Structure 1
Amino acid sequence: MTPDPAMTIDEIAAEWLARMVSGNASPEDRANLAAWLEADSRHKGAYMRAMALWQMLNGAAQNPAVAPPLPRGWAHQRFTRRWMIGGGAAIAASAAAVLLLRPYVLDEPQIFQTGRGEVREFTLADGSHIVLDSQSRVDVTMRRDARNVALVEGMGWFHVAKDKTRPFTVSANGARFVAVGTAFSVSREGGTKIVVSEGIVRMTAADHDRAIDLHRNETATIDPAGGLKLARLSDDAMSRQMAWREGSVGLDGETLREAAESFNRYNRMQIVVADQALADKRVVGWFSRNDPLGFSTAAATMLDAKVERQGETIRLTKK
């Protein structure tokens, strides 16, 4: 971030804080903030005032879990009444600082998304983490009494910071998944699927009357017609389900069509399965998500098929 020379110190501090709590701060941003803070003692005071305002507006006095990150090397400060009166007066004089922070403390959603081939982690203001798969998007709304995430596209993995006063809810295709402190993934591909890797998640769906509690290594799939399937996974199967976070595609009996769709989400080079009977055959294995040709060659060997590459297209056909 490059501060505008026309901005006051308090306005610059507010903009820095907004960047830090947005979940989009890069290592370079954090290094630049540290340099800005060390450049002038007034900068540290302005940043602490901005933090105090952020905490007051976001209800941190009642909920200590809601707090912006301190720059590396800073100790947590005790905000005294005298400090708050003096610092608060300085902030009140800067309406621009409040406007800069509004998107991060009110009910306006933040949008996080990824492009083709991109898998990215985001840190939310409450300390929760989201990892988005390729071509995915979530809209996040942080409120004083709730944390709401709408999975608009693709797939995400959510590691939820514990806060019993603010349930963390992920919604997708009419289903809702509520957690307090846990880790799970939700996908919109071919219906809605949840895989719980830690803790407990309560699931409700539009076409089902009762809520269902899902525990570690359990999964639920709601197909496009509303059918519900529950299953418990082995540790090996769980590893395959989470392989996408490590740059891999783990297959454990998926059809060749489903496997091709997985690789096509990550790569410009697209796999086309020309024969219906071949597309319905099942494949197993662990593959690099960025190597569609390597996967296609291995699948052709397993299924006695033929591989043809034409530009950016890989065709799998029966021999």
Structure 2
Amino acid sequence: MPPSTDNPDSEPNQIDPDLIQEQARDWLVRITSGNMSPDEAESFKRWCAQSQLHARTFAETSRTWRLLGAAAELNSDTPVPLPARQLSRRHFLAAAAGVTGVAMVTHFGMRTGISLGTDSSIQTARGEQKRLDISSDIAITLNTLTRVELLNANTSTNEHRVRLVSGEMDVQCSSFAEGFSIFAAGGEITGSDAHINVKHINDSVQVTCLQGLAEVSYQGQRARIGSGEQIRYSPSSFAPPAPVDANHVSAWLNRVLVFDDIPLGEVIEEVNRYRSGKILLLNAQVAKRRVQARFELDRLDEVITLMTDVYGIKSLSLPGGVVVLT
């Protein structure tokens, strides 16, 4: 629990840089947990206002935290979340000293001819998109925070199998593509002469056919979907095909997000996948409101303007791109 600014015993009589460093880390853990209450947000604001050292220490701590996250992903095949609550101050500072000189570049465009690693996997960073030309007949575009594995990239067969470990991918395959399969969370998606969007977030998978035909198999159940249809499956369900607006689903290819009658809380979750930092909506009632919105990926802070201007929600901007909405 972060230090309370309302308790006179929670702060020393004289400024203690080590204690402020520890408190800054505790505040950062609380903020990034997504469970910060409005009262705690006000308490944090008062803590930052105590001195320039308080505000500067939190800004530096937030920056270091982001660098550590990037370093962890650069040195691991799978992005590794930082063990925030288990990371001691000593280890935190020691790790921070080890990331000096780490350079990061965010690519918002698309790249072709990606060179794969020895494990035949590739992933994208936050806000990044990449295009993979699997063959002359199959092209895949990876969306933000996505990881895929090419299961037979080192073989000479005409079969192509891809596992979507997490994130979202757009797949276009011509009628000449042979034996193309996508695996995601235990399910299999196949298609020929088709344009397919597959999104795998947590345990849920969403398969949308944008053009042509696709077949989805999961736990013994099988269904075929045509253009403008979508199937969702998870460990607890296999929903029947449902009509969707294919242009909305694929809007991210044009660097746009479109939401049609979607709860605002889900909108913010999706925006957080693209935006640096994090938007925290602490008003549970507002989170349930269904909205229609369109945001350009280069102007995602417009979602904050929407909530402050339309819904009258108060916003608190914090270092590291964190915005608390109450």
Q: TM-score range by the shorter chain?
A: 0.5 to 0.7
Question: Displaced runs of 4+ in structure 1, greater than 6 A?
Answer: none
Q: Determine the structure 1 residue equivalent to 2:181.
A: 169
Equivalent residue letter for 1:124: I
In structure 2, runs of 5+ residues without a counterpart are 1-111
SS where residue 236 of structure 2 aligns? coil
Alpha-carbon distance in 2 for matches of 1:301, 1:173: 40
CA gap of 1:229–1:313, structure 2 versus 1, over 3 A, is: farther
Q: Determine the structure 2 residue equivalent to 1:136.
A: 146
Equivalent residue letter for 2:149: D
SS where residue 309 of structure 1 aligns? strand
Work out the number of aligned pairs and report it.
210
Q: Determine the structure 2 residue equivalent to 1:160.
A: 173
2:114 to 2, 12, 24: 24
Measure how far apart 1:163 and its partner are: 3.0
Equivalent residue letter for 1:149: V
State whether structure 2 residue 231 is matched by structure 1 residue 220.
yes
Q: Determine the structure 2 residue equivalent to 1:127.
A: 137
Please say which structure displays the higher CA radius of gyration. Answer: 1
* Equivalent residue runs for 1:195-274 within 5 Å: 195-206=208-219, 209-233=220-244, 237-274=245-282
CA gap of 1:307–1:118, structure 2 versus 1, over 3 A, is: same
Equivalent residue letter for 2:137: G
1:238-290 alpha-carbon deviations (Å, 9 max, x no partner): 21111111111111122222111111111213111112222222221111123
Alpha-carbon distance in 2 for matches of 1:269, 1:139: 27
1:95-115 alpha-carbon deviations (Å, 9 max, x no partner): xxxxxxxx99xxx86222211
Alpha-carbon distance in 2 for matches of 1:205, 1:218: 17
In structure 1, runs of 5+ residues without a counterpart are 1-21, 26-102
Equivalent residue letter for 2:206: K
Alpha-carbon distance in 1 for matches of 2:113, 2:294: 31
* Equivalent residue runs for 1:104-123 within 5 Å: 110-123=120-133
SS where residue 124 of structure 1 aligns? strand
Measure how far apart 1:229 and its partner are: 4.3
CA gap of 1:155–1:240, structure 2 versus 1, over 3 A, is: same
Identity percentage over the alignment?
Answer: 19
Equivalent residue letter for 1:315: V
Alpha-carbon distance in 1 for matches of 2:223, 2:261: 26
Measure how far apart 1:148 and its partner are: 0.3
SS where residue 294 of structure 2 aligns? strand
RMSD: 2.3
SS where residue 114 of structure 2 aligns? coil
Residues 222 and 229, structure 1, Cα contact 8 Å, conserved in 2: no
State whether structure 2 residue 279 is matched by structure 1 residue 189.
no
TM-score of the pair, normalised by structure 1? 0.61
TM-score of the pair, normalised by structure 2? 0.59
